[in-house]
Structures are given as C-alpha cells and as structure tokens.
Amino acid sequence: MNAAREPQAAAGEPLIRMRNLRKVYRKRDEEFLAVSDVTMDIFPGDMVSLVGPSGCGKTTLLKILSGLQSHDGGTLEVGGGNFNPGRDVGMVFQQPLLLKWRTILENVLLPADILHLDRRQATQRAHELLEMVGLAGFDNKYPYELSGGMQQRAAIARALIHSPKLVLMDEPFGALDALTREKMNLEMLRIWAESRTTFVVVTHSIHEAVFLGSRCAVLTAGPARMADCFPIELEEPRKLHVKTSPEFGEYVRRIYELLGVE
C-alpha cells in the first residue's frame, strides 16, 4: 500500500454513515421509489466508486450526500454532525460547466468568491491547485482555449478550492474520448493522493470503478439497492497495466455477477 491509501486504513470513524437510505420522488399523487435501501460507510480518505446501471439512483444518492436532496427513510450521518454541505462539499459533473466569461483562474476561484474566502489566500491556493492538475500557466486562458480534458481538470481544481471534506463526482469523465479518459483516471488518482480528500465517484464503467476505487459500491437497478460494497486491493500506485492483471479481472467479474450481466 502506498502513502495515499493510509488515511482510510487508519480511519476509525466514518465520514459518512448511511443506513437503509431511501428516497421517493413525489409529483402530485404519483410516487417513484428511486432509492430503496442503501447501507454504506465512507471513511476519510476513501475513494469510493459508485457503479450501477442507468437510472439506478446514483445521481440521487450524490444529491442526498451533497444536501441538494432530502431522504425519506433510513439514516444519514455526515461528518459526525459537524458538516456543512455548502462549505464542506465539492462537486464535479459530467460537463466541466466553466463560466465562459471567466478565466480559468477566476473559474477555479468561483466557490471561494461565493463562500467569501480571503481572496489573496484563495488565489494562492488556486495557483497551487492549477499546478496540481497540470494546468500551471493556463490561469489567464478562457475555457474555450482548453481541451475537454483540460477543462475537466480545471473543474476538479474548482471543486477543491475551498478544501472540502468530501468531493462528489458524477460521471466526471463520461464526456471524454477513451484515451483522454484513461489519462484522466491516472490524473484523478494522483490528485486524490495529493489532496488527501474523500472522493465519491459515480461511473457507468465497471473497469473505471475498479481502477479508481479504494472501495467500490455496486448498486442494482429499479430502485437502487446496495448489492455490495467492498475494498479494492490492487497493486499501488495503480498504473494502467494493472488492468491486465488477474486480480483486476476478478473484481470486474465480481461486479458483473452482482449486476447480473455474466
């Protein structure tokens, strides 16, 4: 195990504790059970990959964790009661959603501006983050001057600017081509290791879930139910060649089985 994985190994109390979480969407007299029963612990420093078929409630679960949605049943404890979603969560979506009239630096600073953080300190941190995500020197460029992968790295820097305790990513690489996606997976692991923050990443890709996750939560469809949540113990630091190892194949097979697509 490398140093990046130590925090979760040493962690005692979970950052997030979900027990039998349930979510019903209601519209007039119609009800739709989107999440029926999710039980899971997420520890500080974890990189949890959340995988499952389309419509199984992954985004709904992220929205509940981010405080954007309430839940209807079960219990959710985040940060031992000392947690403010507005302050302690960073979000990354499938599209970078950068503001086209702001430079990359100003885009990264957006959450700091909204939270009224000290501008000088935030600017210094933004420069550090841009370096960390491989965008040093791009501070004064505008989004249209960057490739899709570079824009997504800027979006990751933006999600980290206020040093959140939890970063939620919803299909962050879904819009990228296959090769860029592979590179971003490697970047992601490096950023996670350097930031030492807790990440939850939703993905449709079983291979991506195995490659990224220190733990993998598998949800089954209609409505979302936790099929399993298990640690992923692969050679560290993870390099692309691990994808050809028998252990990697075993994890992939396990997820296929859980999803009933053998």
Q: In the window 202-231, what residues touch ligand ATP (CB under 6 A)?
A: 204
Q: In the window 44-73, what residues touch ligand ATP (CB under 6 A)?
A: 52, 54-60
Q: Which is nearer to ligand ATP, 51 or 117 (CB)?
A: 51
Q: How far apart are CA 229 and CA 183, in angstroms?
A: 26
CB of 251 to ligand ATP, least distance (A): 20
CB of 31 to ligand ATP, least distance (A): 9
* Side-chain-side CA neighbours of residue 43 (13 Å): 17
CB of 32 to ligand ATP, least distance (A): 5
Q: Which is nearer to ligand ATP, 137 or 260 (CB)?
A: 260
When binding is defined by CB under 6 A, the residue of 2, 6, 20, 25 that contacts ligand ATP is 25
Q: Which is nearer to ligand ATP, 93 or 251 (CB)?
A: 93
> CB 108: neighbour CB atoms within 10 A?
29
CB of 249 to ligand ATP, least distance (A): 24
Do 151 and 120 form a contact (C-beta atoms < 8 A)? no
**Residues contacting ligand ATP: total by CB under 6 A:** 12
Q: 35, 24, 32, 20: which is closest to 76 by C-alpha?
A: 20
Instruction: Give residues with Cβ within 8 angstroms of 216, minimum separation 6.
Output: 48, 49, 51, 209, 210, 229, 230, 232, 251, 255
CB of 35 to ligand ATP, least distance (A): 8
Q: How far apart are CA 195 and CA 198, in angstroms?
A: 9
Q: Which is nearer to ligand ATP, 34 or 98 (CB)?
A: 34
Instruction: Give residues with Cβ within 8 angstroms of 97, minimum separation 6.
Output: 155
Q: Which residues bind ligand ATP (CB under 6 A)?
A: 25, 32, 34, 52, 54-60, 204
